A and B are shown apart, each in its own frame.
Chain A
């Protein structure tokens, strides 16, 4: 075999491996969507039906009108959106301020603060669930989306600061110094110079927080008891009955929950990776 064919062969081997990885990653998601559009006789069968033979909107329209646990899926999607947006709006302000502090200033306890950010991310949320449940109950926030928003802010903030500080640090200091020389005060410098340049990073961080809050399950399960206040991940559990599961419905609802997240994810994936392993990967 001459070297050229060997190289060709190797290349097609690599490409084949790439296609394999793609299929393994995508198939389960595809299967969710495919099941959502299959009629029941194509769902409950031992045969393998690769795509809906008689595609139907039955499951989608059923979960949107009749819903589950007494409410339309719209209600749960709306609740999830409120929680996720609330978390982002409150959290990003705190995160931006703190990230500016650690990226732009040297001060006592700066290192301790950064280490604290790392350590608090290690504490299992399920562990803090018990005291937070009692706190939320005492504050009268049980069964209210606001309670969920507050808890989510707490859990997304350490990582948001950690991620955002690299974006702040990437903005050249000279720009702010120039603004200051031109007589701009601290607030003006922050608002007119730093903020616009950090905005893309802030968007990426916000989307990450949004996804985290949108997906969050344990707190939503524990802090909400009223069915009309459930978020999507909790509502999904109610498709599983004592005897049987409405697989068409649950797949339709899962699809509706997953699509916005995948769309958002594609938008920010590159920035997110750099934020996640910030510092360790010197790129």
Chain B
């Protein structure tokens, strides 16, 4: 390649050797060119290191110590080393199993429903006319944009025992059908937000409602990138719609789906805000998931921060394990090399 570039640059895809080539001829700043990217990166890297990596290290470190009131006051006393004590306490606690179950079951159901609903809506958007598709996209944007606290509050209101729309709508069902489906016909005054299992039901509905638009719009973006010739060929060959989806759409969108899957798992595993609002704070221990449990242990009196940190470490490890495979795949497909 001709040496057209005199700008200090680390080189493009094709020319890593340029890094060491001629210095810019005129008016170059005094920094040697190999330093430039590091200088640009430094502020951001420092922020990430101080605000994310160092706390991450501290979290692990704290999980091996007893960190309570005496350690967080001004003039803190040194924390007592407990070894794996916090972890043993976590695994021996009854709350661990209920919180783990709540976390995992919620994430599995929500991720599945979100992906299915989002993909279906994405496919629908792709087949709608231009005006209709814009109309629907504007609508689902409203659901997507609603802040999580507002989302939870709105659904709490919709599922209100006395004045909620949900109970009103369930009462509209013909009595026979309602008894057949749910074993009851009168829903007046049904308190959805007292019992952990129904709290989680409302939570699933609220989170799926808020997160399917993102999946739909992403799937739509992916669908638009698939050449239409492929579909024409499939139609000529007489392929059924489901076969077309399985053999053409899904394989081509696989990278999109793996990104969406990982993001959804990450978001749904650590759901906090919506649960906090729906469960009404930290009083209802049966409805804890791991995030809310860790928060409660660390911040209600008396604060057990080391114990809370141990729960947080367990949660992070579970998430890393689940997403590791897919993250590798994303790293492969993404342009990070």
Contact = CB atoms under 8 A, between A and B. Distances in A.
Nearest to B273: A217
Contacts of B135: 18, 22
A31 B154 contact: yes
Interface string B111-147: 0000000000100110111001101111111111111
Interface stretch (B37-45, B82-90, B176-184): B37-45
A269 interface: yes
Chain B contact residues: over half helix, strand or loop, or mixed? helix
B234 interface: no
A281 B51 contact: no
Contact of B331 (A118, A124, A254, A258): A118
B65 to A, nearest CB: 12
Contacts of A35: 157
B41 A102 contact: yes
Contacts of A97: 40-41, 43-44
A283 interface: yes
A112 B193 CA distance: 45
Given A18-B133, A107-B34, A186-B8, A25 B139 contact: yes
Interface residues of A, number: 114
A126 B270 contact: yes
Interface stretch (B94-102, B214-222, B242-250): B214-222
Contact of A111 (B43, B137, B330, B336): B336
B262 to A, nearest CB: 8
Contacts of B263: 276
A25 B316 contact: no
A24 interface: yes
Interface residues of B, number: 124
Interface string A37-61: 0000001111110000000000000
A233 interface: yes
A103 B68 CA distance: 45
Interface string B39-67: 01101110110111111101100100000
Given A111-B336, A261-B146, A18 B124 contact: yes
A130 B298 contact: yes
Contacts of A153: 47, 51
Interface in B205-254: 209, 213-214, 217-218, 221-222, 224-225
Given A22-B139, A122-B320, A126-B312, A48 B27 contact: no
A116 B48 contact: yes
A31 B158 contact: yes
Central interface residue in B16, B43, B54, B125, by most chain A CB within 10 Å: B43
Main secondary structure on A side of the interface with B: helix
Contacts of B298: 129-130, 133
Contacts of A105: 9-10, 36-37, 40
B204 interface: no
A104 B12 CA distance: 8
Contacts of B43: 93-94, 97-98
A280 B51 contact: no
Contacts of A19: 136
Contacts of B147: 214-215, 233, 257-258, 261
A119 interface: yes
A28 B225 contact: no
A25 B62 CA distance: 43
A280 B334 contact: yes
Nearest to B53: A120
Interface in A138-155: 150-151, 153-155
A277 to B, nearest CB: 5
Given A24-B209, A258-B145, 20 more contacts: A14-B128, A18-B132, A23-B139, A48-B165, A94-B43, A104-B10, A105-B40, A115-B336, A122-B319, A124-B312, A127-B294, A127-B309, A131-B56, A180-B5, A181-B6, A185-B28, A276-B218, A277-B222, A277-B260, A283-B224
14 contacts: A18-B125, A29-B154, A97-B44, A98-B40, A105-B37, A126-B294, A129-B295, A130-B308, A131-B54, A132-B55, A154-B52, A155-B52, A277-B222, A279-B334
